[in-house]
Amino acid sequence: MKLVFELSKEDRYNSMLPEIDVPVAELPEELSRKQALRLPEVAQIDMSRHYTNLADNSFGVNNGFYPLGSCTMKYNPKINDEMASLPGFANIHPLQPAATVQGAMEAFYQAEQLLSEITGMDAMTFQPAAGAQGELTGIMLIKAYHESRGDTARNKIIVPDSAHGTNPATASMVDYKTINLPSKANGRVDLDKLREAVGEDTAGLMLTNPNTVGLFEHDIIEITKIVHDAGGLCYYDGANLNAVMGTVRPGDMGFDVVHLNIHKTFSTPHGGGGPGSGPIGCKEFLMPFLPKYRVVKTDSGFAFETADKTIGSVKSFYGHFLIVVRALTYILTLGKEGIPEASRTAVLNANYMRHQLKDIYDVAYDGFCMHEFVLTLEKMKKDTGVTALDVAKGLLDNGMHPPTMYFPDVVKEALMIEPTETESKETLDYAIDVFKKIHQAAYDTPDAVKEAPVNTLIRRVDETTAARHPILTYRFDED
Ligand SMILES: *Cc1c(COP(=O)(O)O)cnc(C)c1O
């Protein structure tokens, strides 16, 4: 498929403007372009075909099953987009006077109320653009809090070994050292190791619950108590909230700060379909440090407020507002009954798949899982040479997106499966059959499995080169 730049023909217009009938004003020299802006010049029909072809060659939740563990690839109801397209939300500008955008501000206010209720927090900021930036913002709050008390010897963040890579990355971004906490054989936090790890240098703990292998931390109250008793704060990585929303709340588990991945749990688009949104919630004592522009309700309407010891802005203006509108729509559509039911169904779907696969594949951890579970293909690899990557490629041939691979690091040859609540039993049964079929093929015809995918437009790509030398911009001939 050609790039849009390759379709470009000089002077091919999409629209024609009438002759100018007013004097032409010259731009000041320092503001004018030194070189023509090289935009692709294509007709509307070529443009339309180009994007339609791109969509046809992509795979998303609207194409098929997408059990990408930890990413919660649920269906995004179209009503979310409809609400975000309302002119009062879509056609406003961040610099407009507050009096002219009271409805939009109320949407922020309402989203904050509802998400605070769901997480058990006292306030939220919507500035962070994704989970990772939410983590950064949250740990900056924790640091600002310790510093405001002159408690500056605290420079370590404790992170379990199964954590998402963004957790230790966040800690190092704010100049904290990461203490890696080994998990117990059952995949959960080792309380004795945690007691050994905490001390006067503990700034905080970053924890995902249910954790990244899909297990709920039974000792969660004890975990947060150990950290608090040592003077540290507790950060909840809320990426897995889809397992527990409306049932248990991070605030009640003892956490002080939480980030949400709106684009995971609250049904707004991911990645290329984004942008994302990673609001954070905090307890009252951290509110003075929140980023700028929190919406508050006053006697004369909604207003933006800046906390007195704010850490500043982490993103321009108010974050990705229209994504917040989509999430608010989702919450209001599901309501108080629908929110916990979505989570219960997500957990049920994961357990159904785990149960159907557990006698054929090795499940990494015994017992019930939450919204996702991890397979370990170590034995299959030893027996047949077929790896987790090969199985993932085989799924592509069957119209499925692969699960998350080789994560978390603590599980060898990992495939992490998260079906989400929006898939039907028929879809789950189809996926289970495909997994079984590939398992059989691995033992019967391993070489054929290693050839997969054979039905896709592009077959195996050189992933190392793609990661090490990505070509992300078009090079014009002249360059
Ligand atoms: C997805 C995820 C993140 C990062 O969130 P982004 O929105 O992708 O930046 C952090 N932690 C966990 C456990 C996640 O699954």
Is ligand 1 within 6 A of the CB of residue 138? no
Cα(14) to ligand 1 centroid in Å equals 40
Q: If you write DSSP's letter for every residue of 410-454 in order, what string do you get?
A: TSTTEEEE---TTS-HHHHHHHHHHHHHHHHHHHH-HHHHHH---
Classify domain 345-466 at the CATH topology level.
Aspartate Aminotransferase, domain 1 (3.90.1150)
Determine the residue of 237, 409, 410 to mutate for testing ligand 1's pocket, defined as the one with the most ligand atoms within 8 A of the Cβ atom. Answer: 237
Is ligand 1 within 6 A of the CB of residue 130? yes
Which residue has the CA at smallest separation from atom 3 of ligand 1? Answer: 131
Ligand 1: nearest atom to the Cα of 208: 13
Cα(239) to ligand 1 centroid in Å equals 6
User: Phi-psi category of 175—alpha, beta or left, where left has phi over 0 and alpha has psi -120 to 50?
Assistant: left
Is ligand 1 within 6 A of the CB of residue 210? no
Give dist(CA 260, CA 381) in Å, integer: 36
Q: In 3-state terms, what secondary structure has residue 202?
A: strand
Structure letter (DSSP) for residue 32: S
Note the pLDDT of residue 73.
96
Is ligand 1 within 6 A of the CB of residue 168? no
Is ligand 1 within 6 A of the CB of residue 408? no
The CATH code of the domain at 78-334 is: 3.40.640.10
Is ligand 1 within 6 A of the CB of residue 208? yes
Please confirm whether the linkage preceding 160 is cis (ω < 30° from 0): no
Give dist(CA 401, CA 71) in Å, integer: 12
pTM of the predicted structure, to 2 decimals: 0.93
CB 53 within 8 A of CB 20: no
Cα(11) to ligand 1 centroid in Å equals 44
What stretch(es) of the chain map to CATH 3.40.640.10?
A: 78-334
Structure letter (DSSP) for residue 42: -
Note the pLDDT of residue 1.
86
pLDDT in tens, the chain (479 residues): 889 999 999 888 777 889 999 999 889 999 999 888 888 999 999 999 999 999 898 899 999 999 999 999 999 999 999 999 999 999 999 999 999 999 999 999 999 999 999 999 999 999 999 999 999 999 999 999 999 999 999 999 999 998 999 999 999 999 999 999 999 999 999 999 999 999 999 999 999 999 999 999 999 999 999 999 999 999 999 999 999 999 999 999 999 999 999 999 999 998 666 789 999 999 999 999 999 999 999 999 999 999 999 999 999 999 999 999 999 999 999 999 999 999 999 999 999 999 999 999 999 999 999 999 999 999 999 999 999 999 999 999 999 999 999 998 889 999 999 999 999 999 999 999 999 999 999 999 999 999 999 999 889 989 899 999 998 888 887 77
User: What is the overall mean pLDDT for the chain?
Assistant: 95
Cα(425) to ligand 1 centroid in Å equals 27
What stretch(es) of the chain map to CATH 3.90.1150.10?
A: 345-466
What are the pLDDT digits (tens) for 408-461?
Answer: 888 999 999 999 999 999 999 999 999 999 999 999 999 999 999 999 988 998
Note the pLDDT of residue 309.
97
